[in-house]
Amino acid sequence: MNNADPTACVLVIGDEILSGRTQDANVAFFGQQLAAMGIRLKECRIIPDVPQVIVDTLNAVRQTHTYVFTTGGIGPTHDDITTDCVAAAFGRKVVRHPAVEKALTAYYGDRTNDARLRMANVPDGPDVALIENHISVAPGYRIENVFVMAGVPSVARAMFEAVAPHLQKGAPVYSQSVDAHVREGDIAAALERIQNAHPGVSVGSYPFMRHDKLGTSIVARGTDKAAIASAIQQVGAVMRALGEEPVFGPTPT
């Protein structure tokens, strides 16, 4: 993989994720979409609804990654504090976006209240761009290299689809897997040799239990399809030598 390729961090904001009450469904989506675009998802951090934690974390990761995607905390309730924290991280004031306020008022009609209008709040500055989506009236927004998005998976996905065409792309990352009922410890030494022989490929090992029998799934990831195929075929040969028939995943296309 090219070290010059763009990188990303996903910040999942919300006590409900850390408490286990809500299961995050966004990270896998971002990882898959970004990999296909050649953007390396290097970090994912799940952080609580604590202002200083959000500010400090955001300021740290936006300096070290090409893009930062935040999810959660831009709704109408008292614990939706992401916008206040993003503004603080950038040294900005929070303002009410007039076009969004108008759209929300039109949508909610006589149900409009100040809580709902909080979803029109954004950091000030001419560089703040709205992120529209086809599901919700309330938009996200971009400020410099930070994309502030909803936590609701369908809305987060719609927002990502809106910004994806504008992101810098790198070499796409491909992957292929091979599974067999062999134990990790029995193939660990061979895996190390295969990894060393394929420096441009990331070889990962993932144990599983199927039909009350232990096994291992090996996944090779990288930008070179031929190198991935070579690594996977070598792993398959090791599995056969141990008396188990490997099951290969689809060849990258």
Phi and psi based region of residue 72 (left: phi greater than 0; alpha: psi -120 to 50; beta: remaining)? left
CB 61 within 8 A of CB 68: yes
Nearest in space to 219 (alpha carbons), one of 208, 169, 210: 208
Phi, then psi, of 55 in degrees rounded to 5: -60, -50
Taking 3-state DSSP, the helix, strand and coil percentages for the chain, each rounded to the nearest 5, stand at 40, 25, 35
Please give the helix or strand (H or E) that residue 96 lies within, else none: strand 94-96
pTM equals: 0.87
Name the fold adopted by 7-166. Molybdenum Cofactor Biosythetic Enzyme; Chain A (3.40.980)
| CA dist., res. 120 & res. 137, Å (int) | 10
Q: What is the pLDDT of residue 220?
A: 96
Q: Which residues contact 242 (CB under 8 A, 6 or more apart)?
A: 180, 182, 186, 187
What mean pLDDT do residues 209-216 have?
92
Question: Was domain 174-248 assigned CATH 3.30.70.260?
Answer: yes
What whole-number percentage of the chain has pLDDT above 90?
A: 90
**All structural domains of the chain with their residue ranges:** 7-166, 174-248
